[in-house]
Each structure stands twice: as C-alpha cells, then as structure tokens.
Amino acid sequence: MYRIITTFIFLIIVLFNNIIFAVTADADEVAKQKKAANEELINESKQFEQIIEEYKKYVSSIPENVREEVITYRKAIAKINKKKRLLYQQLSKESQEYLKREQEYKKKLPLKRRSLIKMKKENKDQQEKSSLK
C-alpha cells in the first residue's frame, strides 16, 4: 500500500512538473511572438513614414494645373456616382434584388465566362421576338 501511495505521489509530481513546464514554454512562445509583432510594427511604421515622405516629394513635383485637373476629375466622378446611386434607388425592390443576385453570380464566375450570362440573355430575347412573330 505504501508503494502505491508513493508511486501515485511521484506521478502527481511528474504531472505537475510537466504542466508547469508547458505553461512556461507557452509563456516564452507568447513573449517571442509579441516581440516579433512589435518589431514588425516598428518596421512597418518606418516603412510607412518613408512612403509618406516619398509621396510628399512626388506631389510637390507635380505642376499645379495637373493637380487641379485631377481634383476636377474626382469631383465629376463623385457626381456620376451620386447619379448612379439615385438611379439605383429609383428601381423597384425586385429590380434591385435582381441586380444584387446577378452581381453575386458574376463574382462566382471567372472573367472569361461572364459574357455567357449576357449571351444567354440575348438568345432568350431573340427567341421571344421570334415567337411573337
């Protein structure tokens, strides 16, 4: 009986020791990961600052008339997008739902296959026209 108890105590000690070792190993790993993440952030922030400085130099080299032209272009695009939103809102809910579903299907298809949707639609239209005659 004494031997069983000592063996049991020994096993508990070994198990406890393994748990402590695993916890400290995990803590060391977490510390290493945090250190690597911090170094990565430092490198990214340095790169970010460098890119900003390069961009500032580039922008300062662009003539004023080009900047004004780009600003005018962006304003025109914003107006067009606003008109598109208004047109979309004027559609019925069913039409809006159709456009959403069509877009989902187009996203699923590769670029080369997207034209098949339009081709089948045109074929249907042609069939309907021929059946009306």
Element (DSSP H or E) covering residue 75: helix 64-90
The dihedral region occupied by 23, where left means phi > 0, alpha psi between -120 and 50, and beta the remainder, is: alpha
Residue whose token pair is 């606003």 = 82
Q: How far apart are CA 78 and CA 70, in angstroms?
A: 12
Q: How many helices (H) and strands (E) does the chain have?
A: 4, 0
Higher pLDDT, 52 or 84: 84
- For residue 127, the Cα-to-chain-centroid distance in whole angstroms is 42
Segment 95-104 shows an average pLDDT of 92
Segment 1-30 shows an average pLDDT of 74
